[in-house]
Structure 1
Amino acid sequence: MKYNFLPNTDVKVSKICLGTMTFGQQNSEAEGHAQMDYAFEKGVNFFDTAEMYSIPSREETYGSTERIIGTWFKKTGKREEIVLASKIAGPNPNFGYMRDQLDFSPASIKYALDNSLQRLQTDYLDVYQLHWPERKNNCFGQRGFKVQEDGWEDNIHQVLETLDGFVKEGKIKHVGLSNETPWGIMRFLEESKYHNLPRIKTVQNPYSLLNRLFEVGSSEVCMRENVGLLAYSPLAFGVLSGKFLTGESHPNARLSLFPQYSRYSSEQCTQATILYNEIAKKNGLTLTELSLVFLEQQAFVTSTIIGATTLEQLKENIATINVSLSEEIIAEINKVQAIIPDPAP
């Protein structure tokens, strides 16, 4: 395994992070434990989860992923050897079963954090992230910012003050953002800089060969401000594994089970995937290797969050850490990006 430091800390995290959002729905507790066992054995010391997991979030399975991670910690005693990240959900009218108020008020953060800690059977989180902003910033599956009335009043100072209290209590070590824009990242950094409040260490955003929008604005912010990207959906819901190009049926695939997640299913995404697959084959690589290693080699990526529903997928994903892409291959990738730029918003 290879490691990076969590920005502005002495905490080493594996360049591959285990994503866990299938635990409790697509994966049973036993399967989740097997994935964590294997990942840990291969040097993965970074696990990411969220209060709303498993996905798709439903009242019946709410918190199931954190509970499965918690029973693994209890069984193995490896909590101190894992860098653990979780998230508090933001506003969504469909998720009222989570909390009375889906916001980042002091009461909501305390409620969400304490319940996550209880489910995870731990006293602290290494990284606590705001899963998406309270303001409407078109963060899921939309391209660009659209002006709209959302009634949001800037409460970023209060949010950081609240998180600071939990840092001082020892319940949180570091804080991060997710699904954020360059403005949002800089706004949090500005508030922490001028008021001696916790500094954002990471931002967790989608980033893949089918969605390189993070490179427009946010990558410069991360490089110049030393904030690490935790790249999620690196295989675009499995599209960039190439399995949907074979013509075979995949009834247990996430896109088959949950067709509402169509972000990476457009004709343009398919065309781009075919071209990336040709590059991979020509260079003796799998499409999975090409897709994940491209991210792993980006300077602004601290860790790439991989998710799998089978151990075979997990093994293939983790093994990509030993693969590298030449400048010539990167140039071929960039030619496709120029022809079909960011087909998934």
Structure 2
Amino acid sequence: MEMKPLGRTGIMVSDLCLGTMTFGSQTSEADAHTQMDLALAAGINFVDAAEMYPVNPIAKETIGRTEEILGNWNAANAARRGDYVLATKHSGEGLRFVRDGAPITAQTIPEAIEGSLKRLKTDYIDLYQFHWPNRGSYMFRQNWTFSPKGHNTDEVLENMQECLEALQVQVDKGNIRAFGLSNESAWGTAQWLRLAEQMGAPRVASVQNEYSLLCRLFDTDMAELSVHEDVGLMAFSPLGTGLLTGKYQGGAIPEASRMSLSPELGGRKSERVFDAVDVYLQIAARHGLDPTLMALAWCRTRPFMMSAIFGATTVAQLEHILSGVDLRLSDEVLAEIEAAHKAHPMPY
């Protein structure tokens, strides 16, 4: 397992990260704990959660359940807490089930962190992330209609400063070790970096945005910022919510799969996407590769990639992914992937 720096924090993380968003919905607590054991045994030392998890669906009754399941594992394995890097997130504005949809502010940060610490049964969070910018985002297909309007720049920057001050308090208390962003833009990330430098406040260590063979928005402005500023990408949905496994081709909807619960896959389902997936499946078949393992291995080649976050609904899925941790793609495969991307750019 290759280890990568978490920004400039001195913390090292595995370039595969165990995602937990199904823990407590599609994945039982017993299976979730087995996944923790298997992932750590395989050399994965990075686990990502959020206070709003689990998803599929997001429900008032289950908000926080993922953190509780991880907390129960922590309680039963107290001596192992230092063996892995634990990341979680402040939900941010709009999710009515969490603090009535309150935005990220100096007032909500300490409350959110205390809640996560309690559920996680731990004294500290290694990486604390802001799930969504208060001003909105172009992620999750919003790029098609995105317009940077409706927010006063001075107010946005003032909020950022106040949040950084609040984060510093949490660092000083020992509640968090590092700070990261999610669903952020190049402008937003640059402002957080600039203000942190001015203030001597916690510096952005990572950004968690969607990235896969099917979604390559990160490849330009964000990629350049990421490399030059040491803000590594934590890629979510590196398998395109399962599309890149091929299991949805030909109209198939496997029982208990994500598509069975979310038919449009968050706007990813389209006529064009199945054509693109077919091309990647053909590349894998020509070279005797498993398409799931190929997609993850490709993500790990990217120069800005810190860690690709994968979710495994079942223990069997996790075992399959772990079987490919040493896969390296040939130059021929990489060239064919780039040709496929040019022929099928951004299919959703």
TM tier, smaller: over 0.9
- Tell me how far apart the structure 1 counterparts of residues 240 and 102 of structure 2 sit (CA, whole Å): 27
Name the structure 2 match of 1:167. 171
Give the drift of 1:79. Answer: 1.1
CA distance in 1, matches of 2:152, 2:99: 20
Q: Is the 8 A contact 1:176 1:201 kept in 2?
A: yes
Aligned to 2:9: 9
Q: For 1:97 and 1:151, locate their aligned partners in 2 and report how far apart those are by CA, in whole Å.
A: 27
Deviation at 1:101, TM superposition (A): 5.1
> Which whole-Å CA distance do the structure 1 matches of 2:177 and 2:58 have between them?
27
Indicate the larger mover: 204-213 or 153-162.
153-162
Structure 1 range deviating more: 151-160 or 182-191:
151-160
| Aligned match for 1:84, one of 76, 79, 86 | 86
> Retained in 2: the 8 A contact 1:208–1:291?
yes
Tell me if 1:308 matches 2:309: no
Q: Which residue of 1 aligns with 2:263?
A: 259
Residues 209-240 of structure 1: per-residue CA shift (max 9 Å, x gap): 00011112101000011111000000011111
- 1:239 corresponds to which letter in structure 2? L
Q: Are 1:133 and 2:137 matched, yes or no?
A: no
Structure 2 letter corresponding to 1:116: S
For residues 136 and 9 of structure 2, the distance between their equivalents in structure 1, rounded to whole angstroms, comes to 31
> What SS does structure 2 have at the residue aligned with 1:71?
helix
CA RMSD of aligned residues (A): 1.5
Shift of 1:261: 2.6
Which residue number corresponds to residue 24 of structure 1?
24
Please, which of 228, 231, 234 is the counterpart of residue 235 of structure 2? 231
In structure 2, the partner of 1:66 is 67
Give 1:241's aligned residue.
245
Residues 31-50 of structure 1: CA distance to partner in whole angstroms, max 9, x if unpaired?
11111111111111110000
Cα distance in structure 1, aligned partners of 2:277 and 2:244:
6
Segments of structure 2 that go 5 or more residues without pairing to the other structure are none
More displaced 10-residue stretch of structure 1: 134-143 or 229-238: 134-143
Change in 2 beyond 3 A, CA 1:262/1:166:
closer
Q: Distance in 1 between matches of 2:218 and 2:253?
A: 32
Count of paired positions: 342
> Tell me, what secondary structure is at the counterpart of 2:123?
coil
The range that moved more, 258-267 or 5-14, is: 258-267
- Does the 8 Å contact 2:6/2:205 carry over to 1? yes
- What amino acid maps onto 1:50 in structure 2? A
Superposition deviation, residue 284 in structure 1: 0.8
Distance in 2, Cα, partners of 1:97 & 1:262:
19
- Normalised by the size of structure 1, how large is the TM-score? 0.96
Alpha carbons 1:233, 1:306 under 8 Å: kept: yes
Identity among equivalent positions (%) equals 41
* 1:343 aligns to 2:343 (yes or no): no
| Corresponding residue of 1:290 | 294
Cα distance change on mapping 1:246 and 1:35 into 2, 3 Å = farther
For residues 197 and 98 of structure 2, what CA distance do their matches in structure 1 show?
A: 32
Deviations 1:270-306 (A, max 9, x none): 1100000000100110111221111011121111101
Show the 5 A alignment for 1:184-203. Answer: 184-203=188-207
Number of the residue aligned with 1:57: 58
Secondary structure of the structure 1 residue equivalent to 2:324: helix
Counterparts of 1:207 and 1:237, CA distance in 2: 11
Contact kept in structure 2, 1:2 and 1:321, CA below 8 Å: no
Matched, 1:46 2:46: yes
